[in-house]
Structure 1
Amino acid sequence: MASTDLSGVLQPIEQARGLPNAHYTSDEVYDAERGPLWFSTWAGVCVASEIPQPGDARPLDYLGVPLFVMRGRDGAIRVFQNVCRHRGMILVTEPRRIEGAIRCPYHSWCYSHEGRLVATPHVGGPGQNTHPGIKQEELGLIEVRSHVWMDVVFVNLSGDAPEFAELHAELIERWAEFDVPIYHGGVDSTFQLECRTNWKLAVENYCESYHLPWVHPGLNSYSRLEDHYHIESPGKFGGQGTKVYRQIRGEDGAVFPDFPGLSKKWDTAGEYLTVTPNVMLGVQRDHVFVILLEPRGPRVTLEHIHIYYASPDTSAQLRQKNSDQWKLVFVEDIAVVEGMQAARGAPGFDGGRFSPAMDGPTLLFHQWVASRMQAAPAAAE
């Protein structure tokens, strides 16, 4: 892998350069990022609303690692490596409800919803379902450390990151008023967008409001550039907020119900943050959205969008209108992030510069990437 010089990224904003092109185009850099940027911290893999009932299971490809998420009979969500402990067969191949045991389709080894190995048919020979050399208590599924917050299922593959509540205590406190039941809007409140871009460019674009007048003229007409402020927490999260949030209204003037107990700030404010590496969140008085970034190599990213409300009973027409409005905004960003991706093929581009007044959260994200990559020199060289 060609070496990349990250020293310029870690300079003060007036002198800093952005990440080198290879961090957006190189398969080798993309592979090297898996450990320091994804596996050793907490990343979002799905939302709990996608597995609403006991027995629901959903397979995932987490940067090449096969996982599945399951809601057990006890209602708890668990994440497992999607691999049978016998010969390494994939266990769950499609989203489905598993009423009984989790059964391997290869040799029918079975696991409980909690991951315990409970059956090994014919393992000791025909009709012999046990063998002294196969200790079932030692061969349960490999569970991946997980945590659910704001309905997002976060995982820490390495198992050694600080507790989620410890690492993100500042953000949890900042949005404590939204720590109430939230209700997924259903099929009209979820959609996917495919972007021919590196996942980091999607984060960088979401971090800042600088582009609003030119990329989002409709949004900027009422939530103007000058109404926005920066939010920066080095190494944890960053983004922007607005002092002007306008509730969407139906033709009859109806609005969504507010979340209960909100302070006056939220009458007119909204905040939009990225929890590194890949969870982009937005909170407003009457709804919340989640964008999960799923990298598909260094040049393609899937965005999984989910919208939530304060009540399970909301107008389908109004939900659809809200979904359409946000989809328009997010689609407007696609040409920008794809354009930046295409530009990363230019050898003369040195990472670019940052506006000291407008690009603080974006540089913060670049520096998070650079510092973690530098802390893992064996992976980054």
Structure 2
Amino acid sequence: MVSAPTDLSNVRRPITEARGLPNAHYTDPAVFEEEKHALLFDGWAGLAVTADVAEIGDAIPLSFLGMPLLLIRDRQNTVRVFQNICRHRGMILVDQPRKIEGAIRCPYHSWCYATDGKLVSTPHVGGPGQNKHDGIDRALLGLVEVRSHIWMGVVWINVSGDAPRFEDANAKLLERWAEFDKPLFHGGGDSTFTLDVACNWKLAVENYCESYHLPWVHPGLNSYSRLEDHYHIEEKGLFSGQGTLVYRQITGPKGQVFPDFDGLCDKWDTAAEYITAFPNVLLGVHRDHAFAIILEPLGPEKTREHVHLFYPVADTDDTLRQLNATQWKEVFVEDIFVVEGMQRGRHAVSFDGGRFSPAMDGPTHLFHDWVAERLNARRATAQAAE
């Protein structure tokens, strides 16, 4: 049963009058399906990180909102994303992470593809011992490639294929963080972890965008980077988040610190910024490290957070790196009870979306407004086509 379109008129009002998204946007499978296309497929969404396929030939199967994908580093050292299906009968090609030594071979009828997606072998396609057929043009039957782009160590994808170029769609964010447009080195196995959270993915975005909750949810962090040390970051229709004027560089037991990124201006001596690149990538930058959290929506009320930490150099102090990962995991775990509590609250039938603090909730309201704008645009397009 398809739900009627939700009323988003109150969401798009000025923040002093606006209400949040209706409950259905956090609980209803039909709305989740609508948002899948309008918010995640039609734009540039985060899928993985390049470190997931660190070496030539590395390949990992992924699922993105039910779509089977294959992340691979091809023979030319290019990271690519393909639909993980054979062009013959739609069989899954790779079912577990592995290194492709030769070709990607379909386990069903043994059609083979090069790591760049080209169809290179079709055994017996023309009959026993006949590996070609006039009706099968290999040049037209390569793997279906999903449009992708690499930035901040993240593999971004545009499933629909018709979004503006990544550099154009995210030009203002790229300009804001131009100083960090340089090689980032993933910290390795001890610099990545996942968190399974019983909430809609949008609640993770909303919580990350604002600093209002710091004194009560993150008292340790707030003890030195206080609520009053933070500022809002708002770029309508593109991204939102928060920054702090007080960043305390982590120090190891022997006084060691991470090296800084080269070429940073004086602002970053004490500042750090935390931005959500709409829709689903939470980014943080500091003088000596960066992180990316890729939100994987698993359903209306279930999200997996993939956390990755990056550094200015390939080799960093093991103890310090582990301390940093532990510290960030503690912070992110502190948020779980909040987003899960809000998720349960969305089942209160009388909840009207809630109100926003005009002084403190600007970044969150901006995200709600973006969601509503994208949904309204898709609905208008669909209606015009009827």
TM range (shorter): over 0.9
Distance in 1 (CA, whole Å) between partners of 2:198 and 2:231 is 29
The aligned amino acid for 2:293 is I
Distance in 1 (CA, whole Å) between partners of 2:382 and 2:152 is 33
Distance in 1 (CA, whole Å) between partners of 2:82 and 2:210 is 35
Distance in 1 (CA, whole Å) between partners of 2:8 and 2:175 is 33
Q: How does 1:1-381 map to 2 (within 5 A)?
A: 1-377=3-379
SS of corresponding position for 2:139: helix
Deviations 1:288-326 (A, max 9, x none): 001000011000100000001111121111111100100
In the TM superposition, residue 2 of structure 1 has moved relative to its aligned partner by 3.9
Distance in 1 (CA, whole Å) between partners of 2:263 and 2:376 is 44
Distance in 2 (CA, whole Å) between partners of 1:378 and 1:160 is 17
In the TM superposition, residue 378 of structure 1 has moved relative to its aligned partner by 7.1
Deviations 1:352-373 (A, max 9, x none): 0000000000000001111111
With 65-74 and 340-349 compared, the bigger mean Cα shift is at 65-74
SS of corresponding position for 2:369: helix
Distance in 2 (CA, whole Å) between partners of 1:349 and 1:32 is 22
Count of residue pairs brought into register by the alignment: 381
Distance in 1 (CA, whole Å) between partners of 2:348 and 2:318 is 46
Distance in 2 (CA, whole Å) between partners of 1:28 and 1:222 is 44
Deviations 1:182-209 (A, max 9, x none): 1111111000001000000000000000
The aligned amino acid for 1:253 is G
Q: CA RMSD in A?
A: 1.1
SS of corresponding position for 1:318: helix
- Conserved 8 A contact 1:374-1:380: no
Distance in 2 (CA, whole Å) between partners of 1:278 and 1:14 is 26
Distance in 1 (CA, whole Å) between partners of 2:142 and 2:312 is 39
SS of corresponding position for 2:128: coil
Taking structure 2 as the reference length, what is the TM-score of the superposition?
0.97
Taking structure 1 as the reference length, what is the TM-score of the superposition?
0.98
Give the unaligned 5+ runs of structure 1.
none
In the TM superposition, residue 377 of structure 1 has moved relative to its aligned partner by 1.6
SS of corresponding position for 1:9: coil
Deviations 1:212-245 (A, max 9, x none): 0000000000000000000011111110000000
Change (3 A) 1:160 1:3: closer
Distance in 1 (CA, whole Å) between partners of 2:53 and 2:119 is 22
Deviations 1:144-197 (A, max 9, x none): 110000110000011110000011111111111111111111111000001000
Give the unaligned 5+ runs of structure 2.
none
- Conserved 8 A contact 1:8-1:16: yes
Distance in 2 (CA, whole Å) between partners of 1:336 and 1:199 is 13
The aligned amino acid for 1:207 is C
Could you list the runs of 4 or more consecutive aligned residues of structure 1 that deviate by over 3 angstroms after TM superposition?
A: 378-381
SS of corresponding position for 1:265: helix
The aligned amino acid for 1:183 is F
